Amino acid sequence: MKIGLAGQGAFGIKHLEAVANIPGIEVITITGGNQESTAEVAKRFNIPHYTGDLAESLKQPGLEAMLLATPTQMHAAQAIQTMRAGKHVMIEIPMADSLADSEKIVQVAKETGLIAMAGHTRRFNPSHQWVHNKIVAGELKLLQLDVQTYFFRRTNMNALGKARSWTDHLLWHHACHTVDLFHYQTGETANVARGVQGPIHPGLGIAMDMSIQMKVATGAICTLSLSFNNDGPLGTFFRYICDNGTYLCRYDDLFDGKGNQIDVSQVDVSMNGIELQDREFFAAIREGREPNASVAQALPAMQVLNRIEQSLDQG
């Protein structure tokens, strides 16, 4: 399968590293903003074609699908452009930074019949899969999901320490992970969703601290704290409080409430959540089926984010 990548930054590289472990996938083109760094990435991963124009990538002979790891503000337009060109698309999280744009993506996917998937990696991390499997099997019932998403990002830098051409967002990017995960683990959409935010950063124009509460009809709640001001351990930490145990999760590592590590190495074919996410996308294309984390499945999270944003404005 011949695919392309849009976005030569930190997350684009993560996808290229993941794809390298998946048999039968060939990256034939990369679209990037900075042509010097795009050329470097193309050379590093032996990608024969690179450009600054997505339309040029979409015209490459034999191309079947695109991975979009570009700035959030470009996701909706590029996803629609890709599908209009007849190519399947996976859009890194979030698929858009507004409900209206998310709905447009879902509509175009429906119209074209193409595979369109959102990059909700938490659905694929073996640690979260382990919990999900227990819930589905009836061995666990989620009572509360407690999540801390903490970074130290007072300047506009990416995960590689390089300057960003766009501004990250606690709600539409980082909270999106947890809202979708809460829906996925409960099998429900939050009927209560609200948030408060701290002061707006004078330079970045975004809130640097945020607190979110959610609840589903059957009673499970989610408490989410987010910050770009945290000068300490970085990343996202999950605590699953269940009727039959407590579980602590950070990316692909899982511990019980007593601190004992749980072996999740046999949950799936890889311990790399991004690789597993990409494998699902390619498998759905080959099998002609809806993928786990299709844009339609991810839409309820965007609807809830929209409701939370409205509550922030009210606050």
State how far the Cα of 176 lies from the Cα of 182, in Å rounded to an integer.
10
The tens digit of pLDDT for each residue in 29-76 reads 999 988 999 999 999 999 999 999 999 999 999 999 999 999 999 999
pLDDT-derived band at 160, boundaries 50, 70, 90: low
Q: What is the pTM of this model?
A: 0.93
Per-residue pLDDT averaged across 259-277, rounded? 97
Instruction: For 10-34, give one letter per residue: b (16+ CB within 10 A) or e.
Output: ebbbbbbebbeebeebebbbbbbbe
Is pLDDT at 124 greater than 80 in this prediction?
yes
Looking at residue 263, its pLDDT comes to 97
Domain of 115: which CATH number? 3.40.50.720
Q: How far is CA 94 from CA 22, 91, 169, in A?
A: 24, 7, 10
97 and 187 share a domain? Answer: no
* 187 — pLDDT class (breaks 50, 70, 90): very high
Is a pLDDT exceeding 80 seen at residue 19? yes
Q: Domain count for the chain, please give it.
A: 2
Structure tokens at 269: 């074919």
Q: According to the model, what pLDDT value does residue 204 have? A: 80
In this prediction, residue 156 carries a pLDDT of 63
Q: Which domain holds residue 182?
A: 122-271+301-314
Asked whether residue 296 is assigned to any structural domain, the reply reads no
CATH code of 252's domain: 3.30.360.10
187 φ, ψ (degrees, to nearest 5):
75, 20
Alpha helices by DSSP H, 197-294 = 273-287
Residue 212 in tokens: 């979110």
Q: How far apart are CA 21 and CA 12, in angstroms?
A: 15
Cα gap 116→295, rounded to integer Å: 6
Distance CA 61, CA 315 (A): 52
Q: Are residues 210 and 308 in the same domain?
A: yes
Same domain? For 229 and 164 the reply is yes
Share of the chain above pLDDT 90, in %: 85
Mean pLDDT value of segment 133-149 = 97
Q: Looking at the predicted structure, is the pLDDT value of residue 169 above 60? A: yes
Q: What is the mean pLDDT of residues 296-315?
A: 91
Q: Is residue 24 part of a domain?
A: yes
Mean pLDDT of the chain: 94
What pLDDT, on the 0 to 100 scale, is given for residue 207? 87
